[in-house]
Structure 1
Amino acid sequence: MSVAQNPPSAKHIVIVGGGYVGMYTALRLQRRLRREMRRGEVAVTVIDPQSYMTYQPFLPEAAAGNLEPRHVVAPLRRVLKRCRLLNGRVVGISAERGVVTVCPAGADETRREDLREVPYDRLVVALGSISRTLPIPGLAECGIGFKTVEEAIYLRNHVLQRLDIAASNDDPEVRRRALTFVFVGGGFAGVEALAELEDMARDACRWYPPVRREDMRWMMVEAADRILPEVGPEMGRWTVEALRGRGIEVKLGTLLKSAEDGRIVLSDGEQFDAGTLVWTAGVKPHPMLRDTDLPLDDKGRVKATAELTVEGRPEIYTAGDNARVPDLSGTGEFTAPNAQHAVRQARTLGDNLAADLRGKPLKPYKHAYVGSVAGLGLHKGVANVYGVKLRGLPAWFMHRTYHLSRMPTVNRKFRVTLDWTLALFFRREIVSLGELASPRAEFELATDHRPKPS
């Protein structure tokens, strides 16, 4: 059944996903269809399990304590004032029937009567992607991802907790395991997370007298022969040299073979124990797409036209990581799954959807990739923009400036700027709130009324 009561004559636009594409498309529609939405001629519903959008390029800084985690997310209910937000998980899409099946927040997905069908006149599929994992023994039990703000907070607490363990134990094996950190994947997420957290841990060592910087072992494992391919071979090589200059081991052309019980086994034959394993080796389209009748390619992406409609379904639009969008710039056959394309595709998608409802022609998406920027810790970075290659402080400044300009809402821009300004005068916090992962542990202990053994 329908979730919201729309005027009988209103065109209902349903946006599945509240990430980059979902939120920025809804923002564009609020601007383009302001009069229609005010008059009740168009209704927009955004469906997402969370009530916020995470600006992922700022996750490494949030994990390192440079930014307050709440400041790297945009609250959808505040940002999308003219849209309806439905918190729930989409479990199916039927293009043939024109409905989206949703399991609302708090409902039981196994109970069919709890599921709701949301009809649409126009649909935007913006489910994005999830981490692409491999069947590596021990990875599911030991690995930590790095795609959500929850994972960033957990990883920060985890790293600081490892320092607590090392500072509180005399056993050299326990200390060595606690102070060994392995990151798998040499893309933006892996490189920036490793660089920021290593920078934070190195700075925090002064407050852990038994722990020296030299006691920590930080390692990046990458299957390819280079890292950060988006910034080009030259800057990628410079990044490797910069990381190695900080004492970070960078293993190229190397695979993780096993991680059972924290025992890391690499394809080059090296084996050692590690207390931290972070997996950032790529992404894949959201698996829910397999439960739809939409046309998918061999990678599970929705087949899109240059106008960002779904092939054979002009009433359905798609963009971002879950879409196979033709690249009209001539750089490649299809656009790369990155934030730069997602934000710009959302703008085109919103314009095309508004034009569609008004009976106007659609425009194809065409955008040449202008380059990339990456932060490598405080005052360190690498950039390749319009062929201009920068490194160190200038690249770090460009990284912050660019992403601040892309951060949604003036409110969040101001809060992020304030965090950075305060960081100029005060040191980073090094408090580990590890109990956040198990907030009921203390209360469960208090309610344990079992008799004590005599």
Structure 2
Amino acid sequence: MARPRILVVGAGFAGVECVRRLERGLAPGEADIVLVTPFSYQLYLPLLPQVASGVLTPQSVAVSLRRSQRHRTRIVPGGAVGVDTQAKVCVVRKITDEIVNEPYDHLVVAAGSVTRTFDIPGLVENARGMKTLAEAAYVRDHVISQLDLADASHDEAERAARLQFVVVGGGYAGTETAACLQRLTTNALRRYPRLDPKLLKWHLIDIAPKLMPELGDKLGKTALEILRRRGIDVSLGVSVAKAAPDEVTFTDGRVLPCRTLIWTAGVTASPLVGTLDAETVRGRLAVTPEMAVPGKNGVFALGDAAAVPDLAKGDGAVCPPTAQHAMRQGRALADNLIASLRNRPLRPYVHRDLGLVVDLGGRDAVSRPLGIELKGMPAQAVARGYHWSSLRTNVAKTRVMTNWLLNAVAGDDFVRTGFQARKPATLRDFEYTDAYLTPDEVRAHTASAVTHG
């Protein structure tokens, strides 16, 4: 009798935690585990702003799957572009662009999310994202190149425009990105004696009335004060009305000459969700508290791709798309899969909030571990301690700690690698959001494979 096949799509926090738990909980030969991911690493997303600012190297936050897994899992190098839930087949586009079918008995949709955009003129063509490792490396090169170009320019207007930077999104990603990059550029100007430090300006804007409302009023206000004290212009209740290569127009009518627009205004579930032809909640797959997709036999979903009921809050609330939830859901779902294989009852996902941490670079941070509000160095110690302990391999932990110590002792460096130097990178260049199939295309592909198989 063939062994049950568990197919996990996505190597983010949810997918990796699920696979790790399955490898430890399943007996040898009890089931086959397959992981579909275009990259052989788990990206530690919360530390991307530190990659963009050069505090950490890209390799530090790319945790090797080959090191962290027990080698019982077969890794398929590609991205899932469609699911036929009737045939129980996942359609995968491999990194060679070859399209293959991966059958499953149990499917775990942990495909994560992509950058959420709006119908704003020029946004997709002129904004840069901060969702992938490649984007963080590109943003770093781009920001440093603006300093180099401003220093070489004899045009005062061009020089001023290149030293204006706009970050959209007052959540964790946007706030930490603006804080870390502002610190980098401020320190870098000491190496550019021809540039007037007064011309350097970072803008953080968000349509929401509060900065990081998840922190609560007190810590949110503290974070806002820290940013403004450091010279970051924070505008709330404001968004982008139009974006061009050399200027950004805000919804309050301001037109800002600048060459850098970083877009971090939220995420939306992976387009893979739309291929399952299943019910969604605000774009995320609707699931039961046990993380099963109703009406889709053997299909489970979690993390950013799923609207997992938040039983701790009740009243129809769903869990926010955070790493903390994704990791816990991954472990809980693995336990449910094992229970399902052994004909035991499944358990609903219930969580206990551990708190929040926000690293603003240098000695600045705000944290709320277990409800205790902290700021400054104590908050920084908690934030970095949490991130460090969450890294899954000793190699990754060693690299990150070494990078932190080196940056603390030697300071920042301002080297450009030349990554995509002559090709403007847009939001669509790194996330491949146009690679997915429609439900009809998925069914046609799986039917064709059956006919020719």
| TM-score normalised over the length of structure 1 | 0.90
8 A contact 1:12–1:43 mirrored in 2: yes
For residues 193 and 206 of structure 2, what CA distance do their matches in structure 1 show? 33
Match for residue 452 of structure 1? none
Please report the RMSD computed on the Cα atoms of aligned residues, expressed in angstroms: 1.5
Correspondence 1:50 to 2:34: no
Counterpart amino acid of 1:105?
A: I
Q: Which residue, 63, 85, 93 being the options, matches 1:95?
A: 85
Match for residue 326 of structure 1? 309
Match for residue 12 of structure 1? 5
Correspondence 1:380 to 2:364: yes
Once the two structures are TM-superposed, the CA of residue 436 in structure 1 deviates from its matched residue by 4.5
8 A contact 2:83–2:276 mirrored in 1: yes
8 A contact 1:55–1:407 mirrored in 2: yes
Match for residue 273 of structure 2? 289
Correspondence 1:222 to 2:206: yes
The verdict on how the C-alpha distance between 1:320 and 1:435 changes in structure 2, with shifts beyond 3 A counting, is closer
8 A contact 1:17–1:125 mirrored in 2: yes
Match for residue 25 of structure 1? 18
8 A contact 2:366–2:374 mirrored in 1: yes
Identity of aligned residues (%): 38
DSSP-derived class of the 2:165 partner: strand
Taking the TM superposition and a 5 Å limit, the aligned residue runs for 1:126-141 are 126-141=110-125
The verdict on how the C-alpha distance between 1:117 and 1:435 changes in structure 2, with shifts beyond 3 A counting, is closer
Q: Which residue, 303, 308, 311 being the options, matches 2:286?
A: 303
Once the two structures are TM-superposed, the CA of residue 235 in structure 1 deviates from its matched residue by 1.1
Counterpart amino acid of 1:326?
A: P
Once the two structures are TM-superposed, the CA of residue 427 in structure 1 deviates from its matched residue by 2.1
Match for residue 144 of structure 1? 128
CA distances 1:111-144 after superposition (whole Å, capped 9, x unpaired): xxx4221111111001111010011111112100
Match for residue 117 of structure 1? 101
Once the two structures are TM-superposed, the CA of residue 437 in structure 1 deviates from its matched residue by 4.1
Once the two structures are TM-superposed, the CA of residue 106 in structure 1 deviates from its matched residue by 0.9
Taking the TM superposition and a 5 Å limit, the aligned residue runs for 1:7-406 are 9-33=2-26, 35-36=27-28, 40-80=29-69, 81-107=71-97, 114-297=98-281, 299-313=282-296, 315-330=298-313, 333-406=317-390
CA distances 1:54-101 after superposition (whole Å, capped 9, x unpaired): 101111111111111101011223322210010112121111111111
8 A contact 2:145–2:416 mirrored in 1: yes
For residues 419 and 308 of structure 2, what CA distance do their matches in structure 1 show? 43
Long gaps (5+) in structure 1:
1-7, 108-113, 440-454
Counterpart amino acid of 1:94?
A: D
For residues 280 and 86 of structure 2, what CA distance do their matches in structure 1 show? 15
Moved over 3 A (4+): 435-439
Counterpart amino acid of 2:62?
A: V
The verdict on how the C-alpha distance between 1:347 and 1:403 changes in structure 2, with shifts beyond 3 A counting, is same
Once the two structures are TM-superposed, the CA of residue 331 in structure 1 deviates from its matched residue by 6.1
For residues 287 and 60 of structure 2, what CA distance do their matches in structure 1 show? 33
8 A contact 1:77–1:85 mirrored in 2: no
For residues 211 and 351 of structure 1, what CA distance do their matches in structure 2 show? 58
For residues 277 and 83 of structure 2, what CA distance do their matches in structure 1 show? 7
Once the two structures are TM-superposed, the CA of residue 296 in structure 1 deviates from its matched residue by 2.3
The verdict on how the C-alpha distance between 1:421 and 1:304 changes in structure 2, with shifts beyond 3 A counting, is same
Counterpart amino acid of 2:140?
A: R
| TM-score normalised over the length of structure 2 | 0.90
For residues 280 and 156 of structure 1, what CA distance do their matches in structure 2 show? 15
8 A contact 1:9–1:41 mirrored in 2: no
For residues 245 and 411 of structure 2, what CA distance do their matches in structure 1 show? 35
For residues 365 and 239 of structure 1, what CA distance do their matches in structure 2 show? 32
CA distances 1:334-392 after superposition (whole Å, capped 9, x unpaired): 11111110111111011111121122221111013232110111111011222211111
Question: After the TM superposition, which of the residue ranges 149-158 and 89-98 deviates more from structure 2?
Answer: 89-98
8 A contact 1:18–1:126 mirrored in 2: yes
CA distances 1:195-221 after superposition (whole Å, capped 9, x unpaired): 001001111111111123322011011
Question: After the TM superposition, which of the residue ranges 329-338 and 271-280 deviates more from structure 2?
Answer: 329-338
DSSP-derived class of the 2:86 partner: coil
Paired residues, number:
421
Higher relative contact order (CA closer than 8 Å, sequence separation 6+): 2
Question: After the TM superposition, which of the residue ranges 158-167 and 206-215 deviates more from structure 2?
Answer: 206-215
For residues 295 and 15 of structure 1, what CA distance do their matches in structure 2 show? 20
Long gaps (5+) in structure 2:
424-453
